A and B are shown apart, each in its own frame.
Chain A
Amino acid sequence: EIVLTQSPGTLSLSPGERATLSCRASQSVYNNYLAWYQQKPGQAPRLLIHGASSRATGIPDRFSGSGSGTDFTLTISRLEPEDFAVYYCQHHGSSPPPFGQGTKVEIK
C-alpha cells in the first residue's frame, strides 16, 4: 500500500510569490495516478489536478502539477489571496486510495 508524504508541513508566503508543494510516494505511482485537492477552512475539498498534471475543470492555469514515479509537485505560479489553504495529494491508481497529510499555505 502506497504511503504519501507531503512537504513542507507549512509554507509561509506572500501574495504574488510562487508556491512549490511536494508529495513523495513510498513506491512508484503507476501511470502517474496522482491528484491534488485544495481545502479552505470550513469548506469541502476541491479537485485541482488529476493524473499528476491535468487541471480539473475551471481551475486557473496558475495551478500546475508535475512529476512522475515517486516525486510529484504542485506549483502555484503567483499566489492569489484565495489560494491560502491546505493542499492534499491523493493516489488514485488503486484501492485504498491514500491521501497525503497535507501542506498548509499560509500568509507570511
Chain B
Amino acid sequence: DTEVTQTPKHLVMGMTNKKSLKCEQHMGHRAMYWYKQKAKKPPELMFVYSYEKLSINESVPSRFSPECPNSSLLNLHLHALQPEDSALYLCASSQDRRGTGRHSNQPQHFGDGTRLSIL
C-alpha cells in the first residue's frame, strides 16, 4: 500500500458529467502534484501545489480544475472532458524545497492512480 491514497481507482464518465478525483497524504508533505499518464508514455506534469498554493500550471485546459483544501488533500475537478482525456491520473507529494536555493532532493511519493475513461 502506498502512503498517498487516491480515490476512486477507476472512473468512467460521460463528456457532460462533473466528477472529482481525490488525493490524500499524511506524511506532512507540503508539495503536491497532479500528473497525467497515457498508455505506454511517461507521466506528464499538470499542476503543482506548494503550501496549498498553486505554483505551477502546465497550460492545462480549464476543464481540469485543481483544488488544495488543506495540506493533506488535493482534488482534481473534472468537467466536460474529451475522449482524449482518458488516462491514468497520478497524484504525488513531497517535502517542499522552499528556501533551500537548490534542486529538490526529496523524492515524490505517488499514489496508485485513478484510471479515467471518458465515453
Are A and B bound to each other?
no
- Give me the interface of B with A, judged by CB distance under 8 Å: none
